Structure 1
């Protein structure tokens, strides 16, 4: 039955591409334009950096120092702290890339990989601060509310997932590590690495380029799929049917929600246009960004296909993340006392999206690494 549905879906996709060739060309071009101008320069340097840091043994060094923090809180090895920092810095799909690499290298177990995958995939800080807060809402300070809601809710999801197929914490993993043992672990990792620095750099660039090219393909194909679905009025049909059940929400709001289920950027922009008050706009934005969108799901599924990690745990985590982020956003808005009147709706062109994304990502990276360094120093002194 599933094979029949798959064949029918692919047949409809092929039919739509033949019927609307100009729309397919334009939507694929828009997706690749966004990738070329914003995603490629934002992701590629961090992909290369993460590969170099893992090959240098830094992840092993950090892992030993942070074992006594990560294990009790998230039931994860200390090496997972590096994945958390890079995932929060770079956004989708960095967390999945590094999680899959750790699992393929047998650095983490299957259950640990699924726990780690559950809370290390976020929208990038550049997207939240630049594209949504500054570009779409026209209020840069709201980026703090949105990013705080998304990041904190993801940490809560990570803490909840510590109970996911949890094994008892061994005495060895909960004991406080020493700086000397961390240094020795890094040296051992470097000794096991028989490649020269030039080869490591070359391999890092090749692997990182392949990954960002895969992201480009996903962005192009899902831009086409979403355009065809809107040409066939599928989101509108789903919104109309849902409106008969949930009559408190208007059809444009539900249509924006269903578009956000498929693709995050379009869903965020339509949510701002469909909702009139700031509370409602921020709530929908937090929900959509916590969910991530089916285009992101496809990227994650493709990246973990070479591992034995199960996708179901990631799906459950996205649902939890979306609703927790929605609740936290309303709490933060009430505490911040931001006026709840609707902000002017802004139609955003691609040149506005991801404004200052590199600077913001760099600041978040420095902040994450500073926090990890402080935790490591505290553990070392204790």
Structure 2
């Protein structure tokens, strides 16, 4: 009986694909276009860069330098700072990928890996500033509100998770800064790796391409799944049930929009803008949708962490907390943005005029955030460097 229950969903999905072949092809093409325009340019360069930096020992170097920051604030080793920076720079699911690598190399304990998973999954800055704020809303100035609410809520989740399964003896109490020790750790890591640059670069490109292709497969699959659920009427049925449970507080269109957001971020953002006409409600829903990430992202993270002992529940709880916090912070940040009294809601414009434009804008925003984090880390390093040693 249990085997039949596990097989039934896949059988129904296969049946739906046979019944709606043209819609399957169309939705698959949509998913691939989304991957090509936004995911590939945002993730591939930074996947390669992260592999190179890890192979060159930069993570070990940064780990020693930022131990005085990461331990007291997040109860994480300094090496986790690299994952945090790349997560904010490149977006989902690079945080899960790097966390998995560090856990497999025993650079993180099981509990530390779970803490890190809880707050290192964010949309890329290119998606928030370019695709949503500029393309969907037609208001680039709202990008800082969306990104600010998502990033701040994410940091709060990280601080909350510092208490997750924490033990007083964990990590010791020596947080002293030492540039010399950090340099020695970098040299030791390079000697242990031992790969020449050519091999390191080739391995980085090969692994990064495989990872990005895997992500593209997930995006395409969920694009097809969501379309089948919509055209088969299942989404409408679930929306009707949810509408009945809320006693009409949420309309059928609203519940349908929220169900789409449950599965996939981009579709959820599009339908939310069409459904909710008030700007404040739009911003709140958009920030919640991007904080949640969608079941497509959940599946990606689960696939990467399945090779470790890190429990998925920490990631799930982190997403729920961020989904609740982001809308509240977005309303607070809206007070600092000067908007017209009557904000016109444009029809859904094209996210970008062309694939090349989308790729360039996504890359530009990601590079800006990456450079900002590197400058921030440099400032923190210099600050600790000139503090009196205890």
Query: Which is further off, 171-180 or 365-374?
Result: 171-180
Q: 1:258 to 1:2 in 2, by over 3 A?
A: farther
Structure 2: how far apart are the matches of 1:355 and 1:258?
A: 31
What is the 5 A alignment of 1:159-174? Answer: 159-169=159-169, 172-174=172-174
Match of 1:87 in 2: 87
User: Aligned residue pairs: how many?
Assistant: 382
Match of 2:103 in 1: 103
Deviation at 1:171, TM superposition (A): 7.4
Match of 1:199 in 2: 199
Structure 2: how far apart are the matches of 1:250 and 1:342?
A: 23
- Name the SS of the counterpart of 1:141 in structure 2: helix
Q: 1:20 to 1:125 in 2, by over 3 A?
A: same
Q: 1:205 to 1:250 in 2, by over 3 A?
A: same
Residues 275-326 of structure 1, C-alpha deviations (whole Å, 9 max, x = no match): 1110010011011000000011111111111111111110111011011001
Match of 1:255 in 2: 256
Match of 2:39 in 1: 39
Residues 240-259 of structure 1, C-alpha deviations (whole Å, 9 max, x = no match): 22222323222211211110
Query: Is 2:345 the counterpart of 1:359?
Result: no
Structure 2: how far apart are the matches of 1:171 and 1:267?
A: 41
Match of 1:265 in 2: 266
Contact 2:135 2:351 in 1 (8 A): no
Two-structure CA RMSD over aligned residues (Å): 1.6
- Name the SS of the counterpart of 1:336 in structure 2: coil
Contact 1:131 1:355 in 2 (8 A): no
Structure 2: how far apart are the matches of 1:310 and 1:226?
A: 27
Structure 1: how far apart are the matches of 2:60 and 2:269?
A: 38
Contact 1:65 1:376 in 2 (8 A): yes
Match of 1:324 in 2: 325
Residues 164-194 of structure 1, C-alpha deviations (whole Å, 9 max, x = no match): 1012255745431211111111111111112
Match of 2:183 in 1: 183
Unaligned runs of 5+ in 1: none
Match of 1:381 in 2: 386
Deviation at 1:5, TM superposition (A): 3.0
Deviation at 1:40, TM superposition (A): 1.4
Contact 1:278 1:339 in 2 (8 A): no
Q: 1:179 to 1:283 in 2, by over 3 A?
A: same
Structure 2: how far apart are the matches of 1:68 and 1:2?
A: 50
TM-score, structure 1 normalization: 0.96
Deviation at 1:30, TM superposition (A): 1.3
